[in-house]
Chain A
Amino acid sequence: MKKHKGQSEFSRFVYQLSKNKMAMIGLVILLIEVLIAIFATQIAPYGYQEIDPTALRQVPSAKHWFGTDEIGRDIFSRVVVGTRYSLSMGIIATAISSVIGIVIGAVAGFAGGWTDNIIMRALDVIQSLPGMLLTIVMSAVLGSGYFNTILALSVGAIPGQARMLRANMLKQRKAEYIEAAYSINCSPARIIFTHLVPNSISANIVGMTMGVAHTIIQAASLSFIGLGVQPPTPDWGAMLSGARAFIRKSPHMVIFPGLAIAVTVLAVNMLGDGIRDALDPKLKK
């Protein structure tokens, strides 16, 4: 670590992360998936809605790598196009909930007193509903569709992010550099967003990565039970939901979409573990 002395926190973090093999494997898998998502229509050998009535529920073969589904659509093509939905829903929903959560947490942590109390009690109310149930209810209210589902998914993650930031801000608020900032007449907004938040946010960053993994699973669960993104959109959860009826005769229809979810979530978790270790102050020497 000596050669990194005097460099910024960020380059130290990148250095730590790049030494973590698991995290790098996760990152590479995710980058490949992002490329797949971008070039999905070029990669997919068939259209994701293309029906071949002569090839219903075929097992994997050279022609159809992952087999075909009940109305003769190529499962490989659908899984490839589905990458777009799962990845983007996981990332966008987490981004929305993190931004809102961080702002709420920052206000609560900085203001203290009554404001803090009211915000915390409101979060208590949201958190007295189990996350999946809240997502189901929100999705029932907002209706199906891509953006509504993203909104439904993001609501449940707000309290966690807000609480995490608030707790770390309370620790930072008494620090000397904050007092110094006050004494040179910094505005509250400047103190919150240029001093307090950046110094309190590392737990939230770890929370975000884990949040993406969790959101991808929740999104798939939601479309699996018939809410969220609707067929014929090739969402992985929706594909599994459709495949369920044919579980006895065509188990291959169940395997590949689920494998896609598992690999994506695994990669996110591997990267997340690496980020957590790289940010962990206990490991800093």
Chain B
Amino acid sequence: MLRYFLKRLLWMIPIILAVAIVVFTLMTYCPGDPAEIILGSEATEEALEAKREELGLNDPYFVRLARFLSDTFIHFNLGVAWRTGIPIADSIVERLPRTMMLSGITLILSFAIGVPLGVIAAVHQNRWQDSLCMVLALVGVSMPNFWLALLLVILFAVKLKWLPALGIGGIQYYILPAISASATHIASAARQSRSSMLDVIRSDYITTARAKGVPENKVIIKHALKNALIPIITMMGTQFGKMLGGAMIIETIFSIPGMGTLIITAVNNRDYPVVQTGTIFLAIVFSFSMLLVDMLYAAVDPRIKAQYQNKGKKKVAVKKGAN
């Protein structure tokens, strides 16, 4: 298990480097002259040329790439934003926790609300509880999160004046963003839970459990849900990327100063170093989260745990091939 974890951790290094190279390359092809972006369109040609020289833009691509990689990963010098002059590292340290918190709340809510809804639907298959849950879930997955956010603002902030419409502060500032970010994910968790519960609930061991007189609640929770959880966790893992992306959009609506507002403002201002570094950091965070999801499988599924523990090397190779 530990060996697998370490192996995956090491494997992240080339992946992150590759992401950094790809993002850097993309950014060098962004439209616009960086010197002009910084100095404005009225700057003289001499000033522009001096700025280009200062930023090292006259160097060949590979020299700049090497400098960028060594600055970022060896010297941990992330540079400053072109427009504001604020060190990018400071912005990330300040903003990343907010984005992570919003995505984390989304993850918890979608698990805590979505899974029980799906279980209820599966247990009452083809009855009104099922139809109600599934219609709600279908509407939920179809609703764009930013539109839901705007509707919630109209209702709770503008009309009822119960909750603040934007900004950051106490817990009340996070209620509307959390609801609008998680609605889609609650709905898809409910759909996934229902279908994987239905797969499990017809198995022989469920019939056996019932036949030997295990109370129905216990059958559902201990026997069925525990086995149905694996595909649910898989799905939630793949959804975490969407949760991060969704949080970025939701931040712009509620003016939460997180990574989303940082990157989107930087894109609109053509402040490319911020976009570049912000993107790479979100990729690192995302890769770590995916690693955690993989560890979680092992915790939930003893079969996977056994694979890692016993002939670790061979089975892991097989599993990788099947991905």
Partner-B contacts on A (CB < 8 A): 120-121, 124-125, 127-133, 136-141, 143, 163, 167, 170, 213, 217, 220-221, 224-227, 237, 240, 243-244, 247-248, 251, 254-255, 258, 261-262, 265-266, 269-270, 273
Contacts and interface: CB of A to CB of B under 8 A. Distances in A.
A220 B144 contact: yes
Given A225-B252, A265-B142, A132 B15 contact: no
B138 A266 contact: yes
21 contacts: A121-B15, A124-B15, A125-B18, A128-B19, A128-B286, A132-B248, A133-B283, A136-B263, A136-B267, A137-B23, A137-B279, A140-B267, A143-B31, A220-B146, A221-B144, A227-B267, A227-B268, A247-B154, A262-B142, A266-B138, A266-B142
B248 A133 contact: yes
Interface of B: 15-16, 18-19, 22-23, 26-27, 29-31, 138-139, 141-147, 150-151, 153-154, 158, 241-242, 244-246, 248-249, 252-253, 263-264, 267-268, 270, 275, 279, 282-283, 286-287, 290, 321-323
A133 B249 CA distance: 10
A266 B139 contact: yes
Given A221-B249, A254-B151, A137 B275 contact: yes
B263 A133 contact: yes
A115 B302 CA distance: 33
B142 A225 contact: no
Contact of A125 (B22, B141, B147, B321): B22
Contact of A170 (B139, B144, B322): B322
Contacts of B19: 125, 128-129
Contacts of A243: 150
Contacts of A270: 138
A225 B266 CA distance: 12
A261 B147 CA distance: 9
A244 B150 contact: yes
A133 B279 contact: yes
B286 A132 contact: no
A132 to B, nearest CB: 3
A274 to B, nearest CB: 12
A262 B26 contact: no
Contacts of A227: 264, 267-268
Specify which of A124, A136, A140, A269 lies most central, judged by the most chain B CB atoms within 10 Å of its CB: A140
Contacts of B141: 213, 265, 269
A104 to B, nearest CB: 15
A254 B154 contact: yes
Contacts of B142: 213, 262, 265-266, 269
Contact of B146 (A120, A128, A224): A224
A255 B27 CA distance: 36
A167 B323 CA distance: 7
Given A128-B16, A163-B323, A224-B146, A133 B267 contact: no
Contacts of A128: 15-16, 19, 283, 286-287, 290
B185 to A, nearest CB: 13
A225 B249 contact: yes
Contact of B158 (A125, A131, A133, A248): A248
B245 A140 contact: no
Given A137-B23, A221-B146, A251-B158, A269 B138 contact: yes
A202 B48 CA distance: 56
Contacts of B144: 217, 220-221, 237, 258, 261-262, 265
